[in-house]
Structure 1
Amino acid sequence: MRPDFRRFRLNSPRTASATPATPSPASAPAAPPPLAGGQLVLATIAVALATFMNVLDTSIANVAIPTISGDLGVSVDEGTWVITVFAASNAVSIPLTGWLTQRIGQVKLFVGAILMFVVASWLCGVAPSLPVLLAARVLQGAVAGPLIPLSQAILLGSWPKEKSATALALWAMTATVGPIAGPALGGWITDNYSWAWIFYINIPVGIFAAAVTWSIYRKRESPTRQPPIDVVGLGLLITWVASLQIMLDKGKDLDWFNSPFIVGLGVTALIGFAFFLVWELTEAHPIVDLRLFAQRNFLGGTVAISVAYAVFFGNLVLLPQWMQEYLNYRSVDAGLVTAPLGIFAVILAPVMGRVLPRSDARIIATLAFVGFAVVFYMRSRYVIEIDTWHLVLPTLLQGIPMAMFFVPLTAIILAGQPPNKVPAAAGLSNFVRVFCGAIGTSISTNAWNNRTVLHHVRLTEQATVDNPLFRQQIESTQALLNLSRPSANALFEFTVNTQAAMMGLNDIFYVSAIIFVLIIPLIWITRPAKGGGGGGDAAGAH
């Protein structure tokens, strides 16, 4: 028994679980030493700016869609494709990160993606028509895919292993602030300049980030090899992701499954996804390494962060939309109300870098989910007469669980991954998270619409000409405000619509709070992960 005991003690979880796929120490190339001093600071800033530029573009165009549509002479519904094609293209390219990294190398792929993102941003700004703009957004989304997972991998390789949690905390700051700043910045630029500048601002940021990154990392390139191209897997991935994304985006406009087009998209997505699973799990060189889900930490952490992000991002879209439609907030003002979300998130992120290495990441993530549940319960008590402070307060407090959200769950997901698996693991987990964010947005939007219709029906059940109380109310309104009968009826309808939308939104907030509580057990199917994860010897990797 003693030899077995010693073997158990000396082998890390990574070695025990990944021996067949991991090269021996003698054959594996030595990893570059961590950066230090000013070089580490400058490198972190450059990588963080590339991340910020990417995540900012996921939300900055949202508030500008009406202006873009008007300038290009298309409907707002057509204008929403500016968001949809970016999301679909981005979702497809993210899981390709691991495969592309093996063929090109981390540094070349990262810098090349930044420069292509700059070119695509310029093309978006100069686009004279919607088709040109959509083509540029497809390119922009595709080249943006590798940026987030590679930024995580590069930062983890730049910092000492014992400070990997700090590296993840700094990354989380930029990943958190981008979507928050997007609506406010996009609204301000659109109102004061031109919508084209929401894309042009990426150009100087991207050039700086690419230049600094290349100057520091060009001699720290990861080893490359030439794995076969999984053409079938790539084709299936594009098919089911694009079909599902378009179905979710256009379902409401086409009355969902009453439309043959939506039915066709749904069947295509379902069959494509089924074939994709079978093919990727049996392919020797899959385009997406689905076998990562066999690891307990990757499975639990990825599902938890993806469901939570779906709920969070869906509500992040609904809140400013409600303020603009029913509280008469300007787009820039609605964006500013959501901006305080980043205050505590930024302040506490470095604290998390110090606390996480000495803590159980599962406990911190659980506290984050409880905090989210409390915030959404507070929002479920909103009324139509709410003032700005009571809108801002829950948003401000939400920054606290935000700071405790990304870092611990990312640490759990990447804990114990060998260095050559970090890009693939980060890419796949980010793909699931981003795609769930798009799904969460569609579900939240449609659920709000359905609940609003339901409450409207209930509120107007007694509003008939045969009801003397209703007639008396309308006549009182006419006399009090000196209105005609049609104007009094219109005022009543407006009041009911506003109240029904408020009640429907409260339902969404309340259900969101419950979801955050229900997904807490997902965190606890994982094993303890300390030290920030990501290619280190974090305890309990699998």
Structure 2
Amino acid sequence: MTPFQRKLLIFTVILAAIMELIDISIVNVALYHMSGNLGATLEDTSWVITAYAIANVIIIPITSFLSANLGRRNYYIGSVILFTFCSFMCGHSSSIWMLVFFRFLQGIGGGALLSISQVVVFELFPKEKQSTAGALFGAGIFIGPTIGPTLGGYITENYDWPWIFLINIPIGILVAISCYFLLREPPVKPEKAKVDWTGIALLAIGIGSLQTVLERGEVEDWFETRYIIVLTVIAISTLCFFIYWELKVDKPVVNLRVLKSKSLIIAAILTFVTGFGMFISIYLSPVVVQRLLNFSPFQTGLLLLPGALMALLALKICGTLLQKGVSPVLIIALGFVLFIYFNWRMSGITLNTSAAEVSTALIFRALGLALLTVPLTMLAVSSLKDKDVGQGAALNNMMRQLGGSFGVSIINTYIAHRFADHRNVLISNVTPDNVKAMDRINAYINYFQHKGFAYNEAKIKALKLMENVIIRQSSLLSYRDAFVIVGLFFVITLPLLLFVMNKSNKVKPGIIISDH
């Protein structure tokens, strides 16, 4: 390949990965518009998010298997075409369940766009510049989920929700054409294996059930709903049998034997926590600033912009440090510390917090995540044989997605409970004996009387306004608690790095090269 062709292919596959990651979160801000336009309940419309997440988590761990048996070039281009076609169908869906169906297939197509894109980028860089490759790809991993909600909000406000999906079409066509002419099979073709249909079926049923429980549990009041109970039982039993089956067969669809590597296990746990924090923070931060600080989606996007720019610089610095032999463990530790600091700052947010304060906190979030992306991948595959690196990387990517799913599910439930607790405490203080509370209510009554309302009407409005104040304060306190709990997850898991401190010093950047 010429240098220009190599750069073009690198740009192409990173663009594809960003497109896939953006689609994870781009629909979040458009659910109300979809619900009204398609005549569906908000609960039914939320399956648009759930279906994509389920498909993504199912397909990511088996990309290595599918790539080996179908041919990497064929599988990748086919996935791009499937993703693009389903994006078109999503934008032209006439019912909610038609949209959910094609959204699921879009997630199936999107699975390859992340894992295989990563491998192609590393292959196109010489071994001595693997850290630079990691920084480039890490930028895509970071940018995608960050700009998704902002982009979705801008499109929904200025155009219409179908364009959230339709903008993928020209990008998908260009990616498919570029890959048709430029993408090649890996230098060493992986060995084809007999199709492990039992493993595929068990994984799809188990992960699909688990993901559904995580995505829908809080909405359905968890185990108060029969189908959540049934799916939980199915998920546990199926995944247990899946583990037994994959360890038993000679050619498993997911080679769980790679988990004998201590480095991979610890990296997977840390990646899970990173996904947990990344998806929660990108979910909570826009909610807090829009609902409580009254920022528009566009203003929210501007708050995220400085952090995104700083993260790109941090990714470059991270790549340089790794290339010079700095231990990935030290960089991961710094990334965790920065993310803990971000959560500590956000746990002190008030209704008077300025945009500059929020933006500064988000810079620390961005820097922390930027320092975690590449080193965690390197740590995950550092002790694996070359033939197992693709499988290890795929498992690690799956853990990030699962961490995000667990995180958003857990934090929604936690916020709901903390909101109820805070509301009860605040209401219990609104009594005739509380002089400050009574003074505020009387001030509201006087305000409405000056507006021309009779005393009884003014009192009713004053009490409603007081209730709104309590709801707002309860929401603020519950969100602050959520940031505290996320920070604690990072604090608790940080000491795991001590178990790989010595081994990580032997990590060579070039070991990330692998084929699927």
Give the TM-score category using the shorter length.
over 0.9
Determine whether 1:90 maps to 2:56: yes
What amino acid does structure 2 have at the position aligned with 1:350? K
**Equivalent residue for 1:486, pick from 460, 463, 466:** 460
Secondary structure of the residue aligned to 2:26 is coil
After superposition, where does 1:347-366 map in structure 2 within 5 Å? 347-358=313-324, 359-366=326-333
What amino acid does structure 2 have at the position aligned with 1:279? W
After superposition, where does 1:142-181 map in structure 2 within 5 Å? 142-181=108-147
Partner of 1:392: 359
Secondary structure of the residue aligned to 2:24 is coil
After superposition, where does 1:33-52 map in structure 2 within 5 Å? 37-52=3-18
Partner of 1:506: 480
- Which deviations, in whole Å up to 9, do the C-alpha atoms of 1:256-275 show, x marking residues without a partner? 22222222222222112211
What amino acid does structure 1 have at the position aligned with 2:237? I
- Which deviations, in whole Å up to 9, do the C-alpha atoms of 1:242-290 show, x marking residues without a partner? 2222222222232222222222222222112211221112122212111
* Deviates further, 35-44 or 293-302: 35-44
Task: Measure, in 2, the Cα distance between the counterparts of 1:137 and 1:228.
Answer: 29
Partner of 2:96: 130
Verify the 8 A CA contact 2:215 2:405 in the aligned structure 1. no
Q: How much has 1:422 moved relative to structure 2?
A: 2.8
Task: Measure, in 1, the Cα distance between the counterparts of 2:186 and 2:65.
Answer: 19
Verify the 8 A CA contact 1:96 1:146 in the aligned structure 2. no
Q: 1:289 to 1:246 in 2, by over 3 A?
A: same
* Deviates further, 201-210 or 415-424: 415-424
Task: Measure, in 1, the Cα distance between the counterparts of 2:408 and 2:510.
Answer: 30
Task: Measure, in 2, the Cα distance between the counterparts of 1:293 and 1:302.
Answer: 9
What amino acid does structure 2 have at the position aligned with 1:532? P
Q: 1:375 to 1:448 in 2, by over 3 A?
A: same
Verify the 8 A CA contact 1:168 1:532 in the aligned structure 2. no
Task: Measure, in 2, the Cα distance between the counterparts of 1:159 and 1:440.
Answer: 34
Determine whether 1:376 maps to 2:343: yes
What amino acid does structure 2 have at the position aligned with 1:385? N
Q: How much has 1:82 moved relative to structure 2?
A: 0.5
Partner of 2:397: 430
What amino acid does structure 2 have at the position aligned with 1:493? E
* Deviates further, 340-349 or 366-375: 340-349
Partner of 1:10: none
Q: How much has 1:465 moved relative to structure 2?
A: 6.0
What amino acid does structure 2 have at the position aligned with 1:181? I
Percentage of matched positions with identical amino acids: 30
- Which deviations, in whole Å up to 9, do the C-alpha atoms of 1:214-263 show, x marking residues without a partner? 32223656525441222222222122222222222222232222222222
Determine whether 1:462 maps to 2:429: yes
Verify the 8 A CA contact 2:271 2:399 in the aligned structure 1. no
Q: 1:524 to 1:107 in 2, by over 3 A?
A: farther
Task: Measure, in 2, the Cα distance between the counterparts of 1:259 and 1:47.
Answer: 42
Verify the 8 A CA contact 1:153 1:422 in the aligned structure 2. no
What amino acid does structure 2 have at the position aligned with 1:494? N
Partner of 1:188: 154
Q: How much has 1:53 moved relative to structure 2?
A: 0.8
Partner of 1:475: 442
**Equivalent residue for 1:118, pick from 70, 84, 90:** 84
Verify the 8 A CA contact 1:92 1:238 in the aligned structure 2. yes
Secondary structure of the residue aligned to 1:328 is coil
Verify the 8 A CA contact 1:416 1:533 in the aligned structure 2. no
* Deviates further, 417-426 or 76-85: 417-426
Secondary structure of the residue aligned to 2:499 is coil
Verify the 8 A CA contact 2:72 2:185 in the aligned structure 1. no
What amino acid does structure 1 have at the position aligned with 2:476? M
Partner of 1:276: 242
Task: Measure, in 2, the Cα distance between the counterparts of 1:246 and 1:198.
Answer: 23
Verify the 8 A CA contact 1:416 1:536 in the aligned structure 2. no
What amino acid does structure 2 have at the position aligned with 1:410? T
Verify the 8 A CA contact 1:122 1:200 in the aligned structure 2. yes
Structure 1 unaligned runs (5+)? 1-34, 538-542
What amino acid does structure 2 have at the position aligned with 1:486? I
* Deviates further, 311-320 or 172-181: 311-320
Q: Which has the higher helix share?
A: 2
Partner of 2:374: 407
Secondary structure of the residue aligned to 2:294 is coil
Secondary structure of the residue aligned to 1:404 is helix
Determine whether 1:532 maps to 2:506: no
Q: How much has 1:453 moved relative to structure 2?
A: 1.1
Q: 1:268 to 1:138 in 2, by over 3 A?
A: same
Task: Measure, in 2, the Cα distance between the counterparts of 1:222 and 1:456.
Answer: 62
After superposition, where does 1:254-293 map in structure 2 within 5 Å? 254-293=220-259
Task: Measure, in 2, the Cα distance between the counterparts of 1:224 and 1:530.
Answer: 24
What amino acid does structure 2 have at the position aligned with 1:514? L
* Deviates further, 469-478 or 58-67: 469-478
Verify the 8 A CA contact 2:258 2:384 in the aligned structure 1. no
Partner of 1:208: 174
Task: Measure, in 2, the Cα distance between the counterparts of 1:351 and 1:212.
Answer: 30
Partner of 2:307: 341
Task: Measure, in 1, the Cα distance between the counterparts of 2:459 and 2:230.
Answer: 47
Q: How much has 1:107 moved relative to structure 2?
A: 2.2
Verify the 8 A CA contact 2:274 2:369 in the aligned structure 1. no
Structure 2 unaligned runs (5+)? none
* Deviates further, 520-529 or 423-432: 520-529
Partner of 2:491: 517
Secondary structure of the residue aligned to 1:86 is helix
* Deviates further, 410-419 or 145-154: 410-419
Verify the 8 A CA contact 1:115 1:206 in the aligned structure 2. yes
Q: 1:112 to 1:464 in 2, by over 3 A?
A: same
Partner of 1:327: 293
Verify the 8 A CA contact 2:275 2:402 in the aligned structure 1. no
Task: Measure, in 1, the Cα distance between the counterparts of 2:94 and 2:299.
Answer: 29
Partner of 1:25: none
**TM-score of the superposed pair, with normalisation by structure 1:** 0.88
What amino acid does structure 2 have at the position aligned with 1:300? I
**Equivalent residue for 1:62, pick from 14, 25, 28:** 28
Task: Measure, in 1, the Cα distance between the counterparts of 2:9 and 2:251.
Answer: 33
Task: Measure, in 1, the Cα distance between the counterparts of 2:55 and 2:185.
Answer: 31
Q: 1:130 to 1:519 in 2, by over 3 A?
A: same
| RMSD of aligned residue pairs (Cα, Å) | 2.0
Q: How much has 1:387 moved relative to structure 2?
A: 2.1
**TM-score of the superposed pair, with normalisation by structure 2:** 0.93
What amino acid does structure 2 have at the position aligned with 1:186? G
* Deviates further, 206-215 or 51-60: 206-215
Task: Measure, in 2, the Cα distance between the counterparts of 1:470 and 1:43.
Answer: 64
Verify the 8 A CA contact 1:84 1:249 in the aligned structure 2. yes
